[in-house]
A and B are shown apart, each in its own frame.
Chain A
Amino acid sequence: MDRRPRPPLSRRRMLQASALALPGAWALASCAREQPLGAPAPASSAAGAPASSAAAAPSPSATLQIASPQNPVKWPINPGNEPIASGLEPEANATLRLYNFPDYLDKAVIKDFTKEYSDYNVKVEYSTFNDYSEAMTKIRSGTVPYDVSFLTYTYIAKLVYGDLIRPLNHDYVPNIEDVWTEFQNPWYDLEWQYTVPYVIYTTGIGWRADLISEDIGALANPYDVFWDSAYAGKLAVLDDNREVIGMTILRDGGTDVNTADPAALELARDAMLEMLGMTQPRVTITGYTDIPEGVLSLSQCWSGDMITGQYYMPEGLDSSVLRYWSPPDGRGLINNDFMVVLKGGENPVLAHHFLNYMIGKDVSLKNFSWVGYQPPLRALTPKSMVADGYIPKNLAGAVVQPEWFKVGYPLLELQPQVQAEYDAIWQQFKAGA
């Protein structure tokens, strides 16, 4: 025990230090970055409740208007965020910044685009995120001027509320005619004010028939494989909290994959933790290469993953061993991604041109043949896609049928506090406790 008296100065020292620290804190506060929050007053019509001032404590009352097939929404257009004027020239010498999942857009299509717009000497830069929440965090931080992003409706109210996306000037996007009519007036964005559809997909199970002897699709409840210890160490689930929680709910006979009910969420969480114990799944979105290469025998995946997986088969192995299952009656997870023009981007006109370019029939088909994800294109009739040779017979289940959108379960946007619950469950799952 050190009995020497402490220097009496220490108290004064501390005061001195805090006297220095406070102005320091003040100086920091004065150079705090303005968060790119949309104009609060009018935006509140989109948000349902007034946005509390930035410094206030988190208000649990913040509610968002949620779009769903039963409750289609026409989003407001906030003052100061009007569409761009018609008839503008695309920005010259621009770098168009795309923000998307990895391997989710054909490089050759990008090359074609720069060629098509070579008069304007444009460059395209492809940056990637691993999941939507990461994308939202980065888009909202406003630190990078991305022009176009590929997102889904789980964030659309926030995107509109925060003025993070631009309303579209339809004059620049005539190719919308090539898209299925229901996607020209989708429930998540009536009159497609902000979005144009990119691809549609179901969530199901992909596997390699030579590594898995069972016919997963023929099981009474195919989702059960994730709780079957016979598959321990061989499988993976998607690195996306909504998809995994949604699948768990469906597996246990539920249908509300957007539930806010704490009891239902707790059940789902317990089931997910049980899954960890039973099969120790990996958590990844790279099933499209892992399954073909045999790193995984089986994985939760999106319908496009197995179609694109054909191109990742190791030499000497035929892609006919790939399988995909999602509920054949369409009562499974079914969603679509869309393209948006981000407000923070520097090239809004070129971004419009890019959207139009992407949904055009020929480009869309070319992109499909590379990414494997099906665009909602009128020229593509799902009934004949196997016969037309777009998709091999063994992967017929990966074709998304239009009528499934009437019975399937989309993953909707959640209220912020419910989303927080989902995130907490996910963190616990990923902690592997």
Chain B
Amino acid sequence: MGDRSTRLLWPILGLPAMVWIALFFLVPLYVVLCVAFGTSDPVFRTAIPIWNPLEWQFAQVQVVWERLFGADNFYLPVVLRTIVYVVLAVCGCLLIAFPVAYFTARFAGRFRGLVLALLIAPFIISYMMRMLAWINLLQPDGLVNSIITLGGLLPLEVNWLSGKPYVVVMGLVYGYIPYMLLPLFVALDRISPSLLEAARDLGAGGVSTFRRVILPMSIPGIVAGTLLVSLPMMGDYFTSDMLSKSPKTTMIGNLINLSIVSPGQAGQAGALLILVLLVLLVPMVWYTRSNARAEVRS
């Protein structure tokens, strides 16, 4: 009797969150499907979702598909651009984060706590505030320009915010690098110093120790960091909006964000979103499962 109530206790405790996830995670995703496979109002061109999956129509998906791979494939450059930006930004994050994380894990000594705290600090500073910081710096009369022109002496002034791709990539690196730093640090910190000493004792030089020991052992951190950084970047639209506003730096996120508020395009936004999610599903599931497994192991 008591045993049964005990057994029931756990499902009851779990129920509220499960209902919540079903109602506010699964249902919304299903509504996106219904909108993407729905039709639109003939006058207002607002979306009309079709709730029954057996009646779904594919006109919107077809439009998106055409724009990706058809004759008028103007989505494709955006997709490619997004991939290039994300790859560059991820590489940037890695190149900066790796030495920093490595230093913090191995050499920071008595400053370790402080350095770690400073590394984590950007987490509590709002993304928008950090973008605002750069807008302030990169204005035509901002600090960056006054420094490189030595206060107006040199004619080196650059209009940073006028749609420069590298400014957007820099913004992405700046915005997301903390998510790279932390998993990298964890992975590097797990490498036991005695292992490195053993490598040295066996005659490995600095480079080969790095290549044969440090790099392979930091792979999980690199992979986790890459995922944590690149997944949100794929949906990012505000970085490009804040630092550029030029069609030349439009990313997939911008395309989705733009379509959502335009009449007649909500369905296309939904369809595009679904395509993006399908592509991202593999890394998302992989990351989630490997995390769950790590949890079980520990």
Direct contact of A and B (CB under 8 A): yes
Spell out A's residues near B (CB within 8 Å). 18, 21-22, 24-26, 28-29, 32, 35, 37, 47, 51-52, 54-62, 64, 130, 133-134, 136-138, 140-141, 158, 161-162, 233-234, 236, 276, 280-284, 293-296, 314, 416, 419-420, 423, 426-433
B43 touches A416 (CB 8 A): yes
Known contacts A29-B52, A54-B48, A133-B262; is A282 also within 8 Å of B162 by CB?
yes
Residues on A with C-beta less than 8 A from B51 are 25-26, 28-29, 32
- Take A137-B263, A280-B248, A423-B264 as given contacts and tell me if A25 and B43 are in contact as well, using a CB distance cutoff of 8 Å: no
Contacts of A56 in B (CB 8 A): 39, 42
B247 touches A430 (CB 8 A): yes
B234-254 vs A: 1/0 string, CB under 8 Å?
Answer: 000000000011111110001
A75 CB → nearest B CB, Å: 15
B34 contact set on A, CB distance < 8 A: 25, 28
A–B complex contacts, Cβ < 8 Å, 23 sampled: A22-B52, A28-B51, A32-B51, A35-B41, A56-B42, A61-B42, A133-B261, A137-B46, A137-B263, A158-B44, A233-B159, A234-B162, A280-B163, A280-B246, A281-B247, A293-B140, A296-B162, A416-B42, A416-B43, A427-B74, A430-B247, A431-B74, A432-B250
Which residues does chain B contribute within 8 Å of A47, judged by CB atoms?
A: 43
Number of A-B contacts (CB under 8 A): 157
Q: In the complex, which of the residues B140, B162, B247 has the most CB atoms of chain A within 10 Å of its own CB atom?
A: B247
**A427 surroundings in chain B (CB, below 8 A):** 74, 255, 258-259, 262, 265
Q: In residues 206-232 of chain B, which contact A (Cβ within 8 Å)? A: none
Residues of B within 8 A of A37 (CB): 41
Partner of A134, one of B41, B42, B45, B262: B262
Given A58-B40, A162-B43: A276 touches B247 (CB 8 Å cut-off): yes
- Partner pick for A431 among B54, B75, B141, B244, CB 8 A cutoff: B75
> In the complex, what residues of B have CB within 8 A of residue A423's CB?
262-265
List residues of chain B with CB within 8 A of the CB of A22.
52-54
In-complex Cβ contact of A416 among B45, B72, B265 (8 A): B45
Chain A residues, Cβ within 8 Å of B265: 423, 427
* Residues of A with C-beta under 8 A to B74: 427-428, 431, 433
Distance of A352 Cα from B84 Cα, bound (Å): 53
Q: Which residues of A lie under 8 Å from residue B250 when comparing CB positions?
A: 430-432
Does B101 lie at the interface of the complex (its beta carbon under 8 Å from any beta carbon of A)?
no
Which residue from B27, B139, B164 sits with its C-beta under 8 Å from A295? B139
Q: With the chains together, A21 CA to B56 CA distance in Å?
A: 14
B123 lies within 8 A of chain A by Cβ: no
Q: Which of A140, A233, A428 is within 8 Å of B44, CB to CB?
A: A140
Contacts of A161 in B (CB 8 A): 43
Interface string of B261-273 (1 = CB under 8 A from A): 1111110000000
Shortest Cβ gap from B241 to chain A (Å): 10
B31: CB under 8 A from chain A?
Answer: yes
Contact residues in B for A276 (Cβ distance below 8 Å): 247-248
Distance to closest chain A CB from B67 (angstroms): 8
B146 close to chain A: CB less than 8 A: no
Those 5 A-B pairs whose CB atoms lie nearest each other, nearest first = A432-B247, A29-B51, A62-B42, A433-B74, A134-B261
Contact B75 A432 (CB under 8 A): no
B166: interface (CB < 8 Å)? no
Do the beta carbons of A59 and B42 come within 8 Å of each other? yes
Among residues of A, the one whose C-beta sits closest to the C-beta of B157 is A294
CA distance A62 to B46 in the complex (A): 14
B49 / chain A contacts, CB cutoff of 8 Å: 32
Taken together as a complex, chains A and B put the C-alpha atoms of A22 and B30 apart, in Å, by 12
Give the residue name and chain of the B residue nearest to A430 (CB). Answer: B247
Q: Does B161 make an interface contact (CB < 8 A)?
A: yes
Nearest CB of chain A from residue B227's CB, rounded to whole Å: 25
Q: How far is the CB of A152 from chain B (nearest CB, A)?
A: 15
| With contact pairs A420-B264, A431-B247 given, residues A54 and B52 touching in the complex (Cβ less than 8 Å) | no
Determine which of B44, B57, B244, B254 lies in contact with A282 in the assembled complex, contact meaning CB atoms within 8 Å: B244
Task: Please determine whether B53 and A54 come into contact, CB atoms closer than 8 angstroms.
Answer: no
Contacts of A133 in B (CB 8 A): 261-263
Would you call B52 and A294 a contact (CB within 8 A)? no
Cβ of A295 and Cβ of B42 under 8 Å apart? no
Tell me which of A26, A416, A433 has the highest count of chain B C-beta atoms within 10 A of its own C-beta: A433
Instruction: Give B255's nearest chain A residue, CB to CB.
Output: A431
Q: Which of A61, A282, A419 contacts B263 (CB 8 A)?
A: A419
Least CB distance from B42 to A in Å reads: 4
Closest B residue to A129 using CB positions: B261
Residue with the greatest number of chain A CB neighbours at <10 A, chosen from B43, B53, B261: B43
Are A58 and B262 in contact, with the CB atoms below 8 A?
no
Asked if B78 is at the interface (CB within 8 A of a chain A CB), the reply is: yes
Q: Does the CB pair A295–B140 fall under 8 Å?
A: yes
Q: In the complex, what residue of chain B is closest to A233 when comparing beta carbons? A: B162
Contact partner, B77, options A294, A429, A433, Cβ 8 Å: A433
Judge whether A55 and B48 touch: CB under 8 Å. Answer: yes
Given the complex, which residues of B lie within 8 Å of A295, measured CB to CB?
A: 139-140, 159, 161-162
CB distance from B108 to the nearest CB of A (A): 41
Residue of B nearest to A314 (CB): B141
Query: Which residues B7-46 have CB closer than 8 A to chain A?
Result: 27, 30-31, 34, 39-46
New A-B pairs, 19, CB < 8 Å, besides A282-B163, A283-B246, A432-B249: A21-B53, A25-B30, A52-B42, A54-B48, A55-B48, A57-B57, A130-B261, A134-B261, A134-B262, A136-B263, A137-B46, A138-B261, A276-B247, A280-B248, A283-B247, A294-B141, A419-B263, A427-B265, A432-B247
Kindly identify, within residues 145 to 169 of chain B, every residue whose CB is under 8 Å from any CB belonging to chain A. 159, 161-164
Closest to A32 in B: B51
Q: Give min CB distance, A367 to chain B, whole Å.
A: 27
Docked Cα-Cα span, A299 to B42, in Å, equals 35
Cβ of A418 to closest chain B Cβ, rounded Å: 11
Docked Cα-Cα span, A274 to B264, in Å, equals 26
* Distance to closest chain A CB from B21 (angstroms): 15
Chain A residue contacts of B140, Cβ below 8 A: 293-295
